[in-house]
A and B are shown apart, each in its own frame.
Chain A
Amino acid sequence: MKTIAALLMLAAPMAAQAQETGSLVRFVACPTYRDADSGRKSGCWLADDRATGRRWDVSLSPYKPDWNFAVLVEGRVTDAKPDACGAPVLDPVRTSRLLDQPCVRHMLPAEGYPGRRYKLQGRYIDPLSVPRAVPPGPYAERTFPVYFEFDNDFLIYQYDDYLLDKAVTWIRAAKPKKLVVTGFAATVPEMVSGQRIAERPEVARERAETIAETLRRLVEVPVEVKWQAGSQPTAEPDADRLPGQSQRRAEIRALF
């Protein structure tokens, strides 16, 4: 808990002023779609932080908004020019859809902004026809985290599939005796944009079971499921330095 509090305190004073590169912003907002057009998947997602009055470009989130619902935005300020979408860029960034908070759909015209031409990059997997490189041993107990959007257990495309593909490739080579999947939920309420937000405790179990079911389809190692309400942030690199993201996770522990 201390860690979250510390991180939040760090973030809070900065939110009031012009935010420095690398600082964390976290807010709830109705997203706006900007109809920029540089081909497929090139449109922009914008979100305004009501507390600071600033508009951010949140398009780089791996899981993008639905214009009918509010999003929980978590991201880090960059010094990238606002050229693509017309707002300063958060990167890394997450936009969790809050399906119980309806929004009026709003679309801006491109207004001269090009958006971002789509490029296959970052966390994506190869087709099955491409053999995976066997990760070198020696193999010993190891934990693989996978991450989720706020309050849900949905496996994020080009994020979790990538993390799972790596984990599974290792598991197939390492042949552990069993896998223990533990789901976590960030259940401690926090104030964000004047709202108390907390994940449901049940989502810890949902996450564990979703990942366990997926693992049972991919490897022939026995899978045990555990869950735990309450979650500490971690410094795992695949959570992209976003404390909230690191809390919303499941861990796959391979035991020998």
Chain B
Amino acid sequence: MRVPVRRLLLPLAALCAFAAAGARGDGYDRWWEPGEGRTFPVQLDYPNDQGTLRLLLTGGPLETKGHPFFEPLGPNGRACITCHQPADSMSLSAQTARERWDTTQGEDPLFAASDGSNCPTLPQGDRASHSLLLKRGLFRIQLPWPTREWNGKPIVPDFRIEVVRDPNGCNSGPKYGPAAGNLSVYRRPRPLANMKYLLAVGFPFDPKQGYALPLDPDTHKPMSGNLMADNRTGNLRLQMEDASSTHLAFARRLTREQIDRITDFEMRIFAAQQTSNRGGAVDTLGARGGPAKLRDSEPGQLGSIGEPVWSEFAAWEHIPPADAARLKPEELAFRQSVARGAKVFRDKTFLITDSAGINSRIGFGNPVRNSCVFCHNMTQMGNDVAPGQVDLGTTTMPFADPMPDLPLFRITCLKAPHPHYGRVFYTMDPGFGLTSGRCADVGKITLQSMRGLSARAPYFSNGLAKDLRGVVDYYDRRYNIGYTEQEKQDLVNLMSVL
């Protein structure tokens, strides 16, 4: 199909306007209001603290007017775009949430009582009632308990859940909590871009669960297992039905056409950091950072047998003197640091211990010596090629940081004890255990995409790390790695340009 040149030019002009106007805090252009009917251009840049994020849309510009991803479908005024904002790499940073609160005095549909507040029972006008979203970027996720399969079939869990701490009131009382048949956890929105990677299937088996991959109920093909913190929805259709009925309070079922149009958009959008304030464009001097390579590459490759993870920056390991001379000294130093960071990510090993999904049941050993790339192994994305349900300890004691504003659950395994935590242990979010109903899966959280990180702090499913340094410090504590200050800086710099 041929698109008249003039039709392409208009959105491109619009794009330049956004890029120029998009200084942090500059309300309108940065924030995509549901239903505002903007055109989504083929390329869109947004500045963030570390540089610029670039979004690429394949297949030409998109009229968002009437598009089910961008229109408020339900009565609460929200659309998918509300929590999956382009400037935030199709997630939502806590900073953006705070800016929205300040701009709208808390009136934005983002703060809907149902899940944009700590609990609907709290006085909604108070900022404090939305503290989890404003401080940690977390939405309330209410899940049925005991859990059900995607087709409604009940699952008999092999563990018991009791509420130990309920600081927000959504895990107790007549309507909320396990006693009332549900459970509330609090999670970050996952970045909705580069989706072909998250859906890619590398191998026929899930080595962590010890089965062939489960089949997609719609296509009967194997599913990647890489969606959602708890993998409760295995394909995009199931995910958007879950999202529209909960986040959008949409009471009806999405039509076939709506499902197709949302899927179409989800598959076309790519996002990654394009420039660094300190290092310049990430696709120069031989480097191949940025979203274009992501868009153009084959998804689902295992870094260890193909292109090594973050080898996008290999050319910066040895910048020829002639090129180096043309960079500012700080720029050169930053680029060299990014290249070292990629090597630290792949090569600096440490002992990984007591992380279910890695140290059990799969037989790598407990402990096993490996590096960041062991788990973050997909080329270009840093998610897990195999279904990525791993217990890093971010939500579970004793490895999680104390987070007194989150609920705490006591888990009692009714059959075999948990291989690392024993029969009774404590978690703020059982993660994949809520989906599988298995004690051994409690605390496992699906690895996310590692792209566009600079646009979407805080990090980890529960916002435990407020910045990238916080991520590295968490790993350093968790696995007693002993990174040098230089190595920490290099990792942070690497992650800031992904």
A residues contacting B by CB (< 8 A) are 33, 35, 37, 39-43, 45, 61-68, 99, 107, 120, 125, 127-129, 149, 152-157, 161, 164-165, 168, 210, 213-215, 217-218
8 pairs from A and B in contact (CB 8 Å cutoff): A37-B349, A39-B349, A40-B349, A40-B374, A43-B367, A128-B204, A154-B361, A210-B211
Q: Which of B33-41, B119-127, B141-149, B212-220 contacts A (4 or more CB under 8 A)?
A: B212-220
What's the Cα separation between A62 and B215 when bound, in Å? 27
- Asked if B369 and A67 make an inter-chain contact with CB atoms under 8 angstroms apart, the answer reads no
Q: Does B297 contact A (CB under 8 A)?
A: no
Known: A127-B202, A157-B362. A43 touches B212 (CB 8 A): no
- Asked if B369 and A37 make an inter-chain contact with CB atoms under 8 angstroms apart, the answer reads yes
What's the Cα separation between A164 and B147 when bound, in Å? 31
Q: Does B60 contact A (CB under 8 A)?
A: no
Return the chain A residue nearest B371 by Cβ.
A40
Q: Inside 8 A of B203's CB, which chain A residues have their CB? A: 125, 127-128, 161
- Asked if B202 and A66 make an inter-chain contact with CB atoms under 8 angstroms apart, the answer reads no
Task: Identify A217's interface contact among B213, B347, B363, CB under 8 A.
Answer: B213
- Asked if B369 and A43 make an inter-chain contact with CB atoms under 8 angstroms apart, the answer reads yes
- Asked if A155 and B210 make an inter-chain contact with CB atoms under 8 angstroms apart, the answer reads yes
Encoded as 1 (CB less than 8 Å from any A CB) or 0, chain B from 411 to 440 comes to 000001101100000000000000000000
Cβ-closest 8 pairs across A and B:
A63-B363, A64-B365, A155-B210, A66-B366, A217-B212, A157-B207, A214-B212, A154-B210
Encoded as 1 (CB less than 8 Å from any A CB) or 0, chain B from 347 to 375 comes to 10101000000011111111111110010
B residues contacting A by CB (< 8 A) are 201-205, 207, 210-215, 222, 298, 300-302, 304-305, 347, 349, 351, 359-371, 374, 416-417, 419-420
Task: Identify B365's interface contact among A66, A99, A155, A168, CB under 8 A.
Answer: A66
What's the Cα separation between A65 and B368 when bound, in Å? 10
Return the chain B residue nearest A61 by Cβ.
B363
Cβ of A2 to closest chain B Cβ, rounded Å: 32
Q: Inside 8 A of B201's CB, which chain A residues have their CB? A: 128
- Asked if B205 and A155 make an inter-chain contact with CB atoms under 8 angstroms apart, the answer reads yes
Return the chain A residue nearest B302 by Cβ.
A127
- Asked if B205 and A213 make an inter-chain contact with CB atoms under 8 angstroms apart, the answer reads no
- Asked if A41 and B215 make an inter-chain contact with CB atoms under 8 angstroms apart, the answer reads no
Q: Inside 8 A of A165's CB, which chain B residues have their CB? A: 204
Known: A40-B371, A41-B370. A214 touches B363 (CB 8 A): no
Interface centre among B207, B363, B367 (most CB of A within 10 A): B363
Cβ of A168 to closest chain B Cβ, rounded Å: 8
- Asked if B349 and A157 make an inter-chain contact with CB atoms under 8 angstroms apart, the answer reads no
- Asked if A217 and B365 make an inter-chain contact with CB atoms under 8 angstroms apart, the answer reads no
Cβ of A132 to closest chain B Cβ, rounded Å: 10
Q: Inside 8 A of A37's CB, which chain B residues have their CB? A: 349, 369
Q: Inside 8 A of B212's CB, which chain A residues have their CB? A: 164, 213-215, 217-218
- Asked if A33 and B204 make an inter-chain contact with CB atoms under 8 angstroms apart, the answer reads no
What's the Cα separation between A249 and B300 when bound, in Å? 32
- Asked if A156 and B363 make an inter-chain contact with CB atoms under 8 angstroms apart, the answer reads yes
Q: Inside 8 A of A107's CB, which chain B residues have their CB? A: 367
What's the Cα separation between A64 and B215 when bound, in Å? 29
Known: A99-B416, A127-B203, A128-B204. A41 touches B364 (CB 8 A): yes
Known: A127-B302, A217-B215. A43 touches B205 (CB 8 A): no
- Asked if B351 and A35 make an inter-chain contact with CB atoms under 8 angstroms apart, the answer reads yes
Q: Inside 8 A of A68's CB, which chain B residues have their CB? A: 366, 419-420
Cβ of B361 to closest chain A Cβ, rounded Å: 5
Return the chain A residue nearest B420 by Cβ.
A68
What's the Cα separation between A148 and B180 when bound, in Å? 41
Known: A42-B369, A43-B365, A99-B419. 18 other contacts (CB 8 A): A33-B365, A43-B367, A66-B359, A120-B305, A125-B203, A127-B301, A127-B305, A128-B202, A129-B298, A154-B362, A157-B362, A161-B204, A165-B204, A210-B210, A214-B211, A215-B212, A217-B212, A217-B222
